[in-house]
Amino acid sequence: MTLPNFLIIGAEKAGTTSLYHYLKEHPEVYMSEEKEPFYFICKDGFPEILGNKIENDNFLKTRITSLKTYEKLFEKATVEKAIGEASASYLYVPEAARNIKNIIPNAKLIVVLRHPIERAYSNFLHCIGRGIEPLRSFEEAISKEPSRKKENWGLVFYYKEKGFYYKYLKTYFNLFDKNQIKIFLYEDFKNNTSTVLKEIFNFLDVNDSFSPEILEKHNVSKKDGLKYNTLTGLLKSKNPIKLFMKDLIPKQIRNKMISVIDKVNSEPVAPMLTETKAALIQDYKEDILNLQDLIKLDLSHWLTI
C-alpha cells in the first residue's frame, strides 16, 4: 500500500499550484497526477463546509472518497523518496486534519501563507474568473459573507474567513509534532523561489541541489479581462459533449444568455478601497499576532497598509 508521506495543505491562492508543479519536476518526488484529490475532506461524504450538496454533486463525483481509490493515485511511485499531493483546502477543515492524523500520522505538512488581505482579494478575482462570483465589488462580497455562510454557499466564497490562519493552523499544531509542519510565506516563495524550494527539498529529505524550471506562473488570477469561462465555454464550445448540452438550451435563449454574460464581463472589477484594507487589518490583527507566536515568523508587515 502506497500513501503520501507529505501533503501541501494550504493556503488557497498562495502559490500552491506553482509549488505542486515545481515539486513534480524533482526526480525524487512523486506528486499525484490529480493536484487536489480532496480525499481527507471527502472520505466520509460531502462536508457541509464545501457548500450545498445538491449544487455540488458533480464536484463530489470528481473527488476521491475511498482509501482504495486514493492509494491508486500513488501506485506509480517507485523509487521516489517523497510522495505527496496538494489539496489547499485541507487547512480549513478540522476533519481533514484529524483524518490525516489517523491515516498518515507521520506525514510532513507544507503550508504557504499569503497576506490575508491579498489572499482574500485574489480569491475574489479567481471566483470572478471562474464565473461563479456575481458581484464586482470586493467590499460587497465580504459584507455578504455572513449571509452566504448561512445560505451554505461554500468555502470557496469565504474570502475573508480563510485569512484567519491561526484559527485553522492551531488544529494541526495540536495534532502533529511541530517538526512535521513547515510554514513558508508567499512573498518569500514569490521573490526567492529557489531559496524556498531548497528549504522544502531539505524538509522532504530529497536532493536540494535540483533546480526546476522556474519560468511559468500557474493558476494566476488577472484583474482585467475576467470572463465567465465555464458558462461561455459551455454555450460556445464545439466540444461534442458541450454541443450535446447546448442542444438542451434553445438557440434564442442561448444567445440572450451569451449577451447578458458578455455585458457582465465588460463591467470592470472595482479595486479594493484603502479603507477596506485598514478595516481588515484590524479584523485580522489578533489572529496575525497569535499566528506570529505560533509559527515563529515575523508578520509585522501584515499589520500595515
The pLDDT tens digits for 173-230 are 999 999 999 999 999 999 999 999 999 999 999 999 999 987 555 665 544 444 445 4
Is residue 226 a contact partner of residue 128, using CB atoms and an 8 Å limit?
A: yes
Residue 260's pLDDT band, with cuts at 50, 70 and 90, is: low
Closest CA relative to residue 29, chosen from 113, 85, 75: 85
Q: What are the cell numbers at 21?
A: 508543479
> Per-residue DSSP letters for 164-227?
-HHHHHHHHHHHS-GGGEEEEEHHHHHHSHHHHHHHHHHHTTS-TT---------S---SSS--
Domains and CATH numbers, the chain: 6-116+160-218+284-303 (3.40.50.300), 229-266 (no CATH)
Q: Model-level pTM?
A: 0.85
Q: Name the residue type at position 215.
A: L
Instruction: Say how far apart CA 136 and CA 129 lie, in whole Å.
Output: 11
pLDDT tens-place string over residues 129-182: 988 999 999 999 999 999 999 998 999 999 999 999 999 999 999 999 999 999
DSSP category for residue 157: G
Whether the predicted pLDDT of 7 surpasses 50 = yes
Burial class of residue 9 in the structure, from the number of CB atoms within 10 Å of its CB (0-12 exposed, 13-18 middle, 19+ buried): buried
Can you name the residues that pair with 110 across neighbouring β-strands?
Answer: 8, 182
